[in-house]
Structure 1
Amino acid sequence: MKRQFVKLNKNATIPERATEHSAGYDISASETVTIQPDEIKLVHTGLAVQMEQDDVMLLIDRSSNPQKRGIVLSNSLGVIDHDYFPNEFMGMFTNITDKPVTIEAGQRIMQAVFVKYGLVDNDNANGERTGGFGSTGEVENDRQNTNADHQSV
C-alpha cells in the first residue's frame, strides 16, 4: 500500500507541499464555517488518508493561524492512525478572539506530516476501530481497566 489522500466530496482539495523541502502537506477546509468566540468547532476537510501500517499522520496547526486568523488547533496535535481510513479526518479549532472568525472553503487551515512509529516488544493491542472521530475512547478505557494489573511502569 502507498500513502495517498482520497477526496470524499467535490469540495475537498488534495493536499500539496508548498516547497520541495516542506515536511507538511497543506490541508484545506472543505466547507465555510464560522466559529464564535471561545467556541470549539470541527472543520471538515472532505478527505480520508491511506497509509502504511506503521505510519501515523500528525495534524499540526499552521504557525500563522493564531495571529492572522485568531484560531488554534484545539487539541494541539491531531493523530490520525492507519486504521482511521476510510473515515474523514477533520480539524478541531478554537476561536481565541472576541469576534466571530470565518474559515472559508478552500482555506489552508493545518498541515499533515507523516511519521513512522515503533512498538514496544510486549505490545498486546488487539482492538479494532469501530468508527471515526473519537471512536476509540470507550474501547481503550475498557482495555486499560482489564489489563491494569499486567502493565509495567
Structure 2
Amino acid sequence: MKVRGFEIVSKYAEEGLTLPARSTERAAGYDFAAAQDTVIPAKSDNGQRPVLIPTGIKVYMQENEYLQLVSRSSLPKKKHLVMPNAVGIIDADYYNNEQNEGEIMVQVLNLSDEEVLVQKGERIAQGIFLPYLLADQDAETEKAVRAGGFGSTGIG
C-alpha cells in the first residue's frame, strides 16, 4: 500500500527526471527541480504575470494530508524569482486529475529587469508533507469532486 511519495508524470517518463529528495538527514523539504528549460520574462516584459515551471512530478498522500510547496531560499537571491502566492497547497485529490495527471507546477514571478533562464534539473522549490484538521461544521458543507488541474478548486 502506498502511503505518500512521488511519481514522474507519464509525459516525462523518458526525460531522465529524478524524484524529489531531501538533501540532508534533517531537512524537512523534498527538493523539486524544473522538468525543462523555462525562460521567465523580465518584469517589464510580461506585466508581472506569473509563469508556471513544470516539474514533471506528481504526488500521492493520505486523504488528511497535503503537500506544502515553498520556494527554495536561494531562488530570490540568486535568480530574483519569487512565488507570488508564497506557498502552494497540493491537495491529496490533485493526484492523477483529468486535466494534467496531477503534475506539480511552480508559479514564479521575475523581480528583475532581465529575463531569467531556469534550466532543466535546477532545484526551484521544496515540498513538505503536512496533516490538516477539519472544522466541526465541515461535514455540513457540500464538496465538489476535483475534475481539473492547476487552480481548479474554485473561481476566487
User: Does the residue aligned with 1:65 lie in a helix, a strand or coil?
Assistant: helix
Q: Which runs of 5+ in 2 are unaligned?
A: 97-101
Q: Distance in 1 between matches of 2:53 and 2:37?
A: 9
Alignment of 1:85-96 (within 5 A): 85-86=95-96, 87-96=102-111
Select the structure of larger CA radius of gyration. 1
Residue 7 (structure 2) pairs with residue 6 (structure 1): yes
Distance 2:70 2:151 in 1: 18
Deviation at 1:76, TM superposition (A): 0.6
Matches within 5 A, 1:4-153: 4-8=5-9, 9=12, 10-11=14-15, 12-38=17-43, 39=48, 40-86=50-96, 87-123=102-138, 124-138=141-155
- The size of the alignment, in residue pairs, is 139
Aligned partner letter, 1:129: R
Stretches of structure 1 lacking an aligned partner (at least 5 in a row):
142-153
Distance across 2 between alignment mates of 1:53 and 1:67 = 35
Distance across 1 between alignment mates of 2:76 and 2:90? 23
Letter in 2 for 1:115: L
Give me the whole-angstrom Cα distance separating, in 2, the residues matched to 1:125 and 1:75.
26
Residue aligned with 1:137, SS: coil
Q: Distance in 2 between matches of 1:37 and 1:125?
A: 42
| Normalised TM-score (structure 1) | 0.86
The 1:125/1:89 distance shift into structure 2, 3 A limit, reads: farther
The Cα shift of 1:125 comes to 4.2
Alpha-carbon RMSD across the aligned residues, in angstroms, is 1.2
What's the CA shift for 1:4? 1.2
Q: Which moved more, 1:3-12 or 1:82-91?
A: 3-12
TM-score (norm 2): 0.85
